[in-house]
Amino acid sequence: MAGIADVARAAGVSKATASRALTGAGYVSEATRTRVQHAAKELGYVPTTSAVSLVTGRTQTIGVVVPNLDRWFFAQVLGGVQEALLERRYDLALYSAPPESDARREMFTHFLARKRFDGVIAVGIEPTAHELERLVDFGKPVVSVGGYDAGTSAVSIDDHAAARIATEHLLGLGHREITFLGGDPDGRQMSFGDARRLAGYWAAMEAAGARGGGRHIPSEVTMPGGYGAAVELLGDRLTRPTALVAVCDEVAVGAIIAARRLGIRVPEHLSVVGIDDHEYADMFSLTTLQQKPDQQGRTAVRLLMAQLEDPATPGSHTYEPSPLIMRNSTAALDDATSAIVTIGR
Amino acid sequence: MAGIADVARAAGVSKATASRALTGAGYVSEATRTRVQHAAKELGYVPTTSAVSLVTGRTQTIGVVVPNLDRWFFAQVLGGVQEALLERRYDLALYSAPPESDARREMFTHFLARKRFDGVIAVGIEPTAHELERLVDFGKPVVSVGGYDAGTSAVSIDDHAAARIATEHLLGLGHREITFLGGDPDGRQMSFGDARRLAGYWAAMEAAGARGGGRHIPSEVTMPGGYGAAVELLGDRLTRPTALVAVCDEVAVGAIIAARRLGIRVPEHLSVVGIDDHEYADMFSLTTLQQKPDQQGRTAVRLLMAQLEDPATPGSHTYEPSPLIMRNSTAALDDATSAIVTIGR
């Protein structure tokens, strides 16, 4: 079996350089890294990682903290992180537990305290439990995905701007009775990003002098959650809005399904805008603000690697774009809609 | 900071026993383990895992191989595995890459070959690339989730029986024109479990002498995939079946949405059965065969731990139950439906 010396010889570099190139500990140029990795692959060289760890003090592992796995956003981010780490030959240690659960507390006091990672990517961390600050205290690089940053490096969309643009799109079509749907179920606090979206919505309503037509209807941030809340909201003709800004696409799709069941035509009698560009968006012709969570995951890995190479790299918050994707779930508030609304009142 | 000696003293056991209880290396009774873990928690003892690894040869890490993260089944299994590993204080190393991709090949030749785990849980492994056999060759315990087992320990539902029962339910309601919807998109091979489901469907149709009314319509195994295929299938009145068995709930829900858009009433004019009891099933009143993938993940961890404690433990295939959950998406083939079908022909 090939050793590091064979790899170094084949790549025409010193053993120390070959080792740095393969472990990620210390600087090597991208060209050298590629050459060494190529040589290692050709020779079928597999570093014994325990030995690598002893030499470098590195684990070649990145910890990823997520609240849960069965929501689209988190699964997508995790997918992007996994891809980017595989490319860089890092292992991914997964730490998933719901916020404020016993498992979550245990995760922080026991697992993360073992520090079996070179750095952490923290996805969807909420400010409340000061978890991000605790991660930083472990003394390893931390990158946050999902809005809240606590001064660490971070990547997210601009949630405030996304919801503002969604709302302005509806205002531009003549709507004034615009409800923000989703978040804050059972009076629990909204997530950091969702709260930013709600604030962006209110900012747009205020700026247009339409605050009086605004309203926030809470729901679980899921498709069934959006469906349930929308059935109730839209079932009452007296208070039915002409347009919805949904906190995310899953809630928006739930609302569209609710509207169809109630015989309310989208977009003729109800306009709906989401945020995400979820894989279901196209199937429901949903106009939405697009984000690419897998890309955010990849960006997070890039930011983390920069800090691993040079711990003096200053933290920065990268905002990924979130363009408006026009499909067919929004329409101008025409006379017909107005008439229906008027008759209803 | 508390050491292992302090923990042993507090728990009233030897240092060696305390170490075994905390590392999972070697046998201790459940009662002793609980007592030691309690003492460790009280004292705030965090084992330095590099030292533990040197002593035990164990990594306290379980590798989990999954094809992707954004399908319900895989996310749920992974969630169950994570929970069960957290309880046992094992780290989870995630290895996710799509079958037959470069990343997948790289994962097997490079990452998994590093063997930075004490055992592997392999989710949704397909027989084709002999990946399960390769995992076994690494010489660590392996448990498979999702149907194919290659003689390893495994956990799944009985896919053949689930689809057979779904089909028999429709046959019992008088249906004979029953289509199996989903799988085999673009002529690619069906997954192992999905192929078992299709076989179970055909077995039921054969047994009822209804083979002539049977048909398999391929689709991507997603909600949009089921929607698209169903729009085409149901749009043609001449060949429209009276009932569908969907390969999974996501496809079933896609079909229900397609039916609604086409003005076909479920269950009056079309019965639909799924397999999963997905979180969307209730919202669509979907009758389905329930499985609990998170429970399967937990069972997989239990089977793996048994093999870690005693490598002589024989492999076994655990079949989890998949009961029929009756909601409102199926109905007896009544005269009205028959009439509609007859007129259509």
pLDDT tens figures, A268-327: 999 999 999 999 999 999 999 999 999 999 999 999 999 999 988 888 999 999 999 999
Query: Residue B214 falls within a domain, yes or no?
Result: yes
Any A CB within 8 A of B7 CB: no
Bridge partners of residue B320, in order along the sequence: B157
Based on the fold, state whether residues B173 and B185 are members of the same structural domain.
Answer: yes
Question: 3-class secondary structure for chain A?
Answer: CCCHHHHHHHHCCCHHHHHHHHHCCCCCCHHHHHHHHHHHHHHCCCCCHHHHHHHHCCCCEEEEEECCCCCHHHHHHHHHHHHHHHHCCCEEEEEECCCCCHHHHHHHHHHHHHCCCCEEEEECCCCCCCHHHHHHHCCCCEEEECCCCCCCEEEEECHHHHHHHHHHHHHHCCCCCEEEECECHHHCCCCHHHHHHHHHHHHHHHHCCCHHHCEEECECCCHHHHHHHHHHHHHCCCCCCCEEEECCHHHHHHHHHHHHHCCCCCCCCCEEEEEECCCCCHHHCCEEEECCHHHHHHHHHHHHHHHHHCCCCCCCEEEECCCEECCCCCCCCCHHHHHHHHHHC
Q: Which residues of A touch B91 (CB under 8 A)?
A: 93, 111, 114, 116
Q: Between these two residues, A77 and B20, which has the higher pLDDT value?
A: A77
CATH number at residue B22: 1.10.260.40
CA distance A327 to A330: 8
Using pLDDT thresholds of 50, 70 and 90, give the confidence band for residue A32: confident
> What is the tally of structural domains in chain A?
3
Mean pLDDT across B22-35: 76
CATH number at residue B205: 3.40.50.2300
As to burial, measured by CB atoms within 10 angstroms (0-12 exposed, 13-18 middle, 19+ buried), residue A227 is: buried
Out of A41, A56, A71, pick the residue that ends a domain: A56
Based on the fold, state whether residues A225 and A255 are members of the same structural domain.
Answer: yes
In this complex, do A75 and B69 lie within 8 Å of one another by their Cβ atoms?
Answer: yes
pLDDT tens figures, A216-228: 999 999 999 999 9
Based on the fold, state whether residues B331 and B234 are members of the same structural domain.
Answer: yes
Among A46, A97, A111, select the one facing B114 at the smallest CB separation: A46
- Prior bond of B267 cis (ω within 30°): yes
Among B54, B70, B71, B231, most A C-beta atoms within 10 A, so best to mutate, is: B70
pLDDT tens figures, A114-163: 889 999 999 999 888 889 999 999 899 999 999 889 889 999 999 999 99
Based on the fold, state whether residues A24 and A127 are members of the same structural domain.
Answer: no
Among A38, A50, A55, A69, most B C-beta atoms within 10 A, so best to mutate, is: A69
Q: Which residue of A has its CA nearest to B87?
A: A103
Based on the fold, state whether residues A175 and A32 are members of the same structural domain.
Answer: no
Any A CB within 8 A of B260 CB: yes
pLDDT tens figures, A58-72: 889 999 999 999 899
Based on the fold, state whether residues A81 and A66 are members of the same structural domain.
Answer: yes
pLDDT tens figures, B301-337: 999 999 999 988 888 999 999 999 999 999 999 754 5
Based on the fold, state whether residues A51 and A72 are members of the same structural domain.
Answer: no
Residue A25: partners with Cβ closer than 8 Å, 6 or more residues away: A19, A55, A56, A57, A58
Based on the fold, state whether residues B335 and B205 are members of the same structural domain.
Answer: yes
Residue-range definition of the domain harbouring residue A70 = 61-157+293-314
Judged by average pLDDT, the poorest of A78-92, A253-267, B7-21, B106-120 is B7-21
Any B CB within 8 A of A78 CB: yes
Residues 132-161, chain A, touching B (beta carbon < 8 A): none
Among B53, B69, B91, select the one facing A111 at the smallest CB separation: B91
Flag whether pLDDT at A339 surpasses 50. Answer: no
Is the ipTM reported for this complex over the cut 0.90? no
Based on the fold, state whether residues A329 and A206 are members of the same structural domain.
Answer: yes
Based on the fold, state whether residues A166 and A89 are members of the same structural domain.
Answer: no
Instruction: Say if residues B318 and B303 touch (Cβ distance below 8 Å).
Output: yes
Based on the fold, state whether residues A332 and A264 are members of the same structural domain.
Answer: yes
Out of A36, A56, A76, pick the residue that ends a domain: A56
Based on the fold, state whether residues A175 and A283 are members of the same structural domain.
Answer: yes
- Look at residue B86 in the predicted model and tell me its pLDDT: 94
